[in-house]
Amino acid sequence: MRVIFMGTPEFSVPVLEALAAQHEVVAVYSQPPRPAGRGKALRPSPVQARAEALGLSVRHPLNFKAPEDREAFAALNADIAVVVAYGLILPQAILDAPKRGCLNIHASLLPRWRGAAPIHRAIIAGDAETGICIMQMEAGLDTGPVLLRETLAIGATETTGELHDRLSAMGARMICEALDRLDSLTPAAQPEVGVTYAAKIDKAEAKIDWSRPASELVRLVNGLSPFPGAWCEVAGERVKLLRAECVAGSGDAGTVLQGFDIACGTGAIRVLEAQREGKKPMPSAEILKGLVLPARL
């Protein structure tokens, strides 16, 4: 098939690689390079970097309002477009341009967690499972009919980073299957009930409030790991908490019980991995060799 690929972050890279190995990728669309690092030099997206390494043509229009951008897209004469975490709302003219339309790889069990941050939100909410949906795109936000879906259990202390990688690999496999079976798949409309929206993560969510129940804080820590990372202050230093589990214990909220076990509003959590300012992530046992916790955080 002649495929247009549209994606931007690391999550999209395995999908691009899988498609390039099995189909003719006629162009790659990605968000423009952004300033990054201390020098604020322009850095291409992970998709752009990988596409260029594969020798593929990369385009990054700011939007598709300009007629020349729409015309250039249509002129590719693609059979289908595959979209995964691209970062732009596509107008109807773009959705209609490929012969077989546009397919989206979405990292949730639609209609649950439509929107920007489905992996984070599934863990933070305590969902037992998530998955991938291959969806026919339409004008609404993640509202199109689903061609394929597959579920995946979420581990008890699994982080967003780990789940991200598993879902990315699943999406790469499933989109290739969907293209192979495209003529025999029957689109299924999403149900009207069970719709939730995965709002973009706000950094203000990341500060730990020890008065909350332990179960909620464990989900928050794991769901915000590795980015932006839940955090607390220890002797004036901001420490990121990157993995946690619930443990037996109680006390006033914020009391250090032993090691890196902290009492919460109800119950207690054990911090398993953390990161000090300017340091690499480490197991809590290693962190505590150089960080003295006060009696109460």
Read off the pLDDT of residues 67-116 as tens digits, 9 standing for 90 and up: 999 999 999 999 999 999 999 999 999 999 999 999 999 999 999 999 99
| Residues flagged as binding site | 108-111
- Read off φ and ψ for residue 233, nearest 5 degrees: -95, 135
Locate CATH 3.40.50.170 in the chain. 2-197
Instruction: For residue 169, give Cα distances in angstroms to 2, 3, 105, 200.
Output: 22, 19, 11, 22
- Give the mean model confidence (pLDDT) for residues 145-153: 98
pLDDT at position 37: 78
- Give the mean model confidence (pLDDT) for residues 177-204: 96
Q: What is the pLDDT of residues 58-70, one digit of tens each?
A: 999 989 999 999 9
Residue 257 has pLDDT above 90, yes or no: yes
Q: What is the pLDDT of residues 164-189, one digit of tens each?
A: 999 999 999 999 999 999 999 999 99
> In the 8-state DSSP scheme, what is residue 199?
P
Instruction: For residue 127, give Cα distances in angstroms to 92, 108, 123, 162, 208.
Output: 33, 11, 6, 15, 21
> In the 8-state DSSP scheme, what is residue 266?
S
Q: How far apart are the C-alpha atoms of 94 and 217, rounded to whole Å?
A: 42
Locate CATH 3.10.25.10 in the chain. 203-289
Q: Bridge partners of 207? A: 231
Name the CATH superfamily housing domain 203-289: Formyl transferase, C-terminal domain (3.10.25.10)
- Give the mean model confidence (pLDDT) for residues 133-146: 96
- Read off φ and ψ for residue 230, nearest 5 degrees: -65, 150
pLDDT at position 36: 82
CATH fold of 2-197 reads Rossmann fold (3.40.50)
Residue 273 has pLDDT above 90, yes or no: yes
Q: How far apart are the C-alpha atoms of 156 and 126, rounded to whole Å?
A: 9
| Residues flagged as binding site for (6S)-5,6,7,8-tetrahydrofolate | 108-111
**Backbone angle region of 254, left / alpha / beta, with phi > 0 → left and psi within -120 to 50 → alpha:** left
| Cis status, amide bond into 111, omega within 30 of 0 | yes
